[in-house]
Structures are given as structure tokens and as C-alpha cells.
Structure 1
Amino acid sequence: MKLMIQAGALLGALAVALGAFGAHALRASLEAAGRADTFETAVKYQFYHAIMLVVIGLLMQRAGDEAVRWLGWSGYAFMGGVLIFSGSLYTICFTGITKFGAVAPIGGLLLIVGWILLLLAAGKLA
């Protein structure tokens, strides 16, 4: 419960910081490399799922044991998905090594799994 809220808060703070950094300090280099959209996608997905981690943590505080278990799995899938999906996109933007693009679908799959697990958890909520 607490971990989900803390992870969401940390990922949210980092998303705001990275978004500002990309919009200001990195803007010219990202645009020159044709990576501004890639960077923006990474920040957006990170931020959306940071918010969901906070929501999951709050739901866990009021849910029964079975729902908490499903919500926890959903949160862990979101965390892993953000790290792999957004992380691979950031790596492409910062290094120019496009081979990291092959890793992004794994993160995307984890994000999808997280949403499906959240759907299943919703069925267990009172």
C-alpha cells in the first residue's frame, strides 16, 4: 500500500523533472535528433502510471485481502512497465542507441498486464 503510493510519488516527481528538463535543457538536441516525440511519450506514460500507482495504493487501504493481492500485482506490473518502457525510450533519447527500442514492447506488455490485473482487482472490491 505505502510502497505503491511512494513509488507513484517518486515516478511522478521524476516525470515532472524529466519533462521540464526535456522541454528546456534538452529541447534543441531532442529536436535535432528527431527524438522529441519519443521523449514526450516516455514522460507521458511514466506520469500516467505514476498517478495510477497512487490510486492503487489508496485502493489497497480500503480493499479486502484478495483485492489487495490483485492490486499489488497490478502495481508491480505498472512499476516494471514504466521502468522498461519509459526507461528504454529515455535510453534511446540520451544515447542514440536505437536497439533499446526492441525492449520497449516488453514494458508496454507489462503496462497492459497491469491494466488487466487492475480490472480483475476491481471485481474483488467490495
Structure 2
Amino acid sequence: MWTARNWMTLAALLGLAAVAGGAFGAHGVADPKARSWLQTGAEYALAHVLATFACAILAQFGARRVGLAAGFFLAGVVLFTGSLFAMGLGGPRWLGAVTPIGGLSFMVGWAALAWAARGVRRP
């Protein structure tokens, strides 16, 4: 079962991957396009890893539907950032077709977070 603890663990691991990918892009890649993909992927991943931590906090305040948002954020990191990282590391360009699916997942996650926030109780 997906709990706040599981979301935070996966988010932390994806944050680690984001920092590693961003650092590699900044220091280990000569191709400007690949560097840009790695940087963009890292930035979006880190933002949505933090959003996932916000979901875990909201869950503590009784936001019952917040797991939906966390799931979409984490799926977005895997799809959006994963496809950009793969292309930045030499993967096939057709992976670029996956990137917008991850972006859509981010947007659905934000909409779900807004919906979940409406259910927050006062502490």
C-alpha cells in the first residue's frame, strides 16, 4: 500500500537521481542539447520531489485524496525526467514522445493536489 512513508522514500531516491543527472549534465556532457535535457529533467524532478513531500505533509493533516497527487507527481518524474535523462545519455530520440506524457502527469498531479488540499482539516 502506498503510504506517506513510501512516497517520501521514493521521492528521496528520485531526488538523488535528479541531482546525479543534473551534475552529470553540468560536468560530464559536452553536447549542448544533451546538457539541456539533463538540466531540464533535473529541475522538474526536484520540483516534483518536493511537491511529493508536500503531499506527505498534507496527508498528516487529513487530506485523504493526496495520494493521487503524489502518484501523478512520481509518475511524472519517472516519465518526464526519465525520458529526458535517457535521451541526454544517448538513448533513442523516440523517447521524446514519452516526455509530454510525464508533463501531463505533472499537471494532473497539481490539479489533484488542489483538490486534496480542499479536504485539509485545521490542526
Which range moves more in the overlay, 13-22 or 78-87? 13-22
Spell out the pairing of 1:53-72 with structure 2 (5 A cutoff). 53-63=52-62, 67-68=63-64, 70-72=65-67
- Indicate how the Cα distance of structure 1 residues 96 and 6 shifts in structure 2: closer, same or farther if over 3 A, else same: closer
1:7 corresponds to: 10
**Which residue of 79, 93, 103 maps to 1:84?**
79
1:108 corresponds to: 103
Provide the C-alpha distance between the structure 1 equivalents of 2:21 and 2:7, rounded to a whole number of angstroms: 21
1:46 corresponds to: 45
1:36 corresponds to: 35
CA shift for structure 1 position 19: 1.4
2:28 corresponds to: 25
Provide the C-alpha distance between the structure 1 equivalents of 2:61 and 2:118, rounded to a whole number of angstroms: 14
In structure 1, list runs of 5 or more residues that go unmatched: none
TM-score, with length taken from structure 2? 0.88
1:124 corresponds to: 119
Q: Which amino acid aligns with 1:50?
A: V
In structure 2, list runs of 5 or more residues that go unmatched: none
CA shift for structure 1 position 96: 4.5
TM-score, with length taken from structure 1? 0.86
1:113 is paired with a residue of what secondary structure?
Answer: helix
Aligned residues between the structures: 118
| Higher relative helix content | 1
Contact 1:15 1:46 in 2 (8 A): yes
Q: Which amino acid aligns with 2:20?
A: A
Contact 2:58 2:117 in 1 (8 A): no
Q: Which amino acid aligns with 2:92?
A: I
Q: Flag as ranges the 4+ runs of structure 1 deviating above 3 A.
A: none
